[in-house]
Amino acid sequence: MYYVFNIMIIGLVAFIAYWWANQGLFSAILHCLCVIVAGAIALAVWEPLAFAAFVKGSSGFSNYGWGITLVVSFALILFILRVAMDRLAPANVALPNWANLTFGLPVGAVAGVLTLGIFVIGAGFIQSSDSLLGFRGYGRGQRTGNIEPLNQLWLPVHQITDEFYSWLSVTSLSTSRPMRHYYPELHKQMTLVRDSAKDGRAALALAPDAVNIRAAFYCPELNRCAVAVGFNEKAQDYGSQLTLSRSQIRLIGAARRTAKASVTYPDRWRQDTVSGIGYHTFENDKAAYITSVAGRESTDIMIQFPAPAGQRAAFIQIRGTRFAINPREVSEAEYVEATGRLENFDSLMGAGADYAPQDIQNFLEITTKIHNLNVGTNSPLGTMQVTSERFLREGEAHFSRGGERPPRTLAIEGIYQPQGTKVVLLDISQESPASIFGAVAQLVQDDARLALVDSNGRKYSPIGFIHYTADSRIHVKLSPGSYLRTIDEIPSIPRAGGQTLKLVFRVTEGMTIVSFTWGEQIVGHCNLPVR
């Protein structure tokens, strides 16, 4: 779809250019002026309209509000301007055909680029997935977790549009709150807000009253900033749990005159977890998310950033919503005291080199049962296939956790287990010694294979997973034909803990499982006879 989307963009720009060239140079110029003015007005009223009309929380229609507000306001303003212009100048100016085509084509192309740029930016702020017909723009790198370009449009209409209006906002259309200072790098932000948990389907809207900026600090010696942020229940994804990726948070510098505001992204944070205070880093870990502890209405997070280059930090932007800050300048000792001991972070970042395989014996289980699954064959089963004995064979489904047990003749019995094999479940949650979301992730390649290993050296890849989510649901995926070989095919688990993720394996009966490996790295040891 990525190639199709690029061809569509180029084709539409070419069509708009040719159309207005055929209408005449004068008509093309008038339309281009209408597009420029409509885009400027739409971007000016976009933020207040989005908050007034849609952004009431972090769920429901709010996650479509940003994009819909921009596109609809642009289309409506352009329509009004076109009608007004047609009435003011009903007649065309007669010019030679060669002049209409020679000069009308580039003028029409400008109008086409700006029009499609607004629409692509708007589409980027509509929740769907982490890509827009294959176009991903900017996001977290698979290996480093740093913000970087993932792929780009062949004709970057969104970037051209952003830079055009950004420059106008500090020159001929300057205001007291120019886009260049208050919302820099819009073309990056439109894809960064989509780079969230659940493959981009987590919340991308945030109500202003969902956040309380408690304090902000700047340390000149370390050239770092820290912002203490309180999140209430309105910030949670669908009313269940807060999840924020590195891409969805940024610090904006205070720019002056025509300079563009500097932007930096967080690299470390401190938060409460199930077991106490947790110190975390975004670096070298794409699976790292700021989260709230499941079941808690509010959470306090201390987020750290490199300071904006050459500028004082003026705003923190979270999921597109901007909050003004005025960092207090502190000494290195005060900064360390406020944010937590630096060695906590440094040891975490370097922990991979000292990683030692853990004892995972108590986190393995031989069973076909799915705990807390009370579902009948007459319930919605997604794409899941069920055997005649009511075992889940292959597919994917989301079930409610617990609930009233269905009649025995309809109840799902568990996971299908072919003759000669046993189903083995391995808990790889954050709290488990078999977790693959911590220090061990620094030692392996992205495409490294996950496997249980028996005493004969044979490897067994997972055929699926069972994910107990924060919203009291059970996400089950089984792919016995293709297996789940890499971490990309497995849900990420919040650092705060409180969620459970189990890998599902089918192991030859009679074997003894001795380890769990990720590529060449041994994650954990065990001695489990599969009988």
Contact (Cβ atoms closer than 8 angstroms) between residue 213 and residue 229? yes
pLDDT at 99 over 80: no
From 301, 316, 349, give the residue that closes a domain: 349
pLDDT at 98: 72
pLDDT at 349 over 50: no
CB burial class (10 A; 0-12, 13-18, 19+) of residue 3? exposed
- For 371-397, the pLDDT digits (tens) are 989 888 888 888 999 999 999 999 999
Same domain, 167 and 227: no
Same domain, 344 and 362: no
- For 156-205, the pLDDT digits (tens) are 999 999 999 999 999 988 888 999 999 999 999 999 998 888 777 788 88
In a domain, 376, yes or no: yes
Same domain, 53 and 158: yes
Cα–Cα distance measured from residue 258 to residue 196, given in angstroms and rounded to the nearest whole number = 32
pLDDT at 473: 85
For the sheet with 321-324, list strands across it. Answer: 263-264, 249-253, 313-318, 321-324
Q: How confident is the model at residue 350 (pLDDT cuts 50, 70, 90)?
A: very low
In a domain, 480, yes or no: yes
Residues 400-411, mean pLDDT to the nearest whole number: 86
Same domain, 331 and 296: yes
In a domain, 139, yes or no: yes
In a domain, 195, yes or no: no
From 160, 188, 216, give the residue that closes a domain: 188
- Better-predicted residue by pLDDT, 145 or 410: 410
**Sequence-distant (≥ 6) Cβ neighbours of residue 151 within 8 angstroms:** 2, 134, 135, 136, 137
Contact (Cβ atoms closer than 8 angstroms) between residue 495 and residue 278? yes
- For 131-143, the pLDDT digits (tens) are 888 898 999 887 6
- For 61-79, the pLDDT digits (tens) are 788 889 999 999 999 999 9
pLDDT at 221 over 90: yes
The number of domains in the chain is 3
Taking alpha carbons only, the member of 323, 269, 267 closest to residue 300 is 269
In a domain, 194, yes or no: no
Same domain, 375 and 345: no
Same domain, 448 and 514: yes
Q: How confident is the model at residue 87 (pLDDT cuts 50, 70, 90)?
A: confident
Same domain, 234 and 147: no
Residues 299-318, mean pLDDT to the nearest whole number: 93
Range with top average pLDDT, 33-42, 332-341, 481-490: 33-42
How many Cα atoms sit within 13 Å of 109 on the Cβ side? 11
pLDDT at 402: 78
In a domain, 239, yes or no: yes
- For 232-272, the pLDDT digits (tens) are 888 887 656 788 999 999 999 999 999 999 999 999 998 87
Structural domain containing residue 432: 358-529
pLDDT at 55 over 70: no
Residues 329-349, mean pLDDT to the nearest whole number: 72
In a domain, 252, yes or no: yes
Same domain, 61 and 163: yes
Same domain, 318 and 391: no
Contact (Cβ atoms closer than 8 angstroms) between residue 99 and residue 92? no
Residues 31-60, mean pLDDT to the nearest whole number: 84
pLDDT at 179: 94
In a domain, 129, yes or no: yes
- Better-predicted residue by pLDDT, 11 or 57: 11
Same domain, 101 and 26: yes
From 349, 380, 411, give the residue that closes a domain: 349
C-beta neighbour count of 209 within 10 angstroms: 11
pLDDT at 348: 47
Same domain, 447 and 404: yes
Cα–Cα distance measured from residue 192 to residue 200, given in angstroms and rounded to the nearest whole number = 10
Same domain, 295 and 177: no
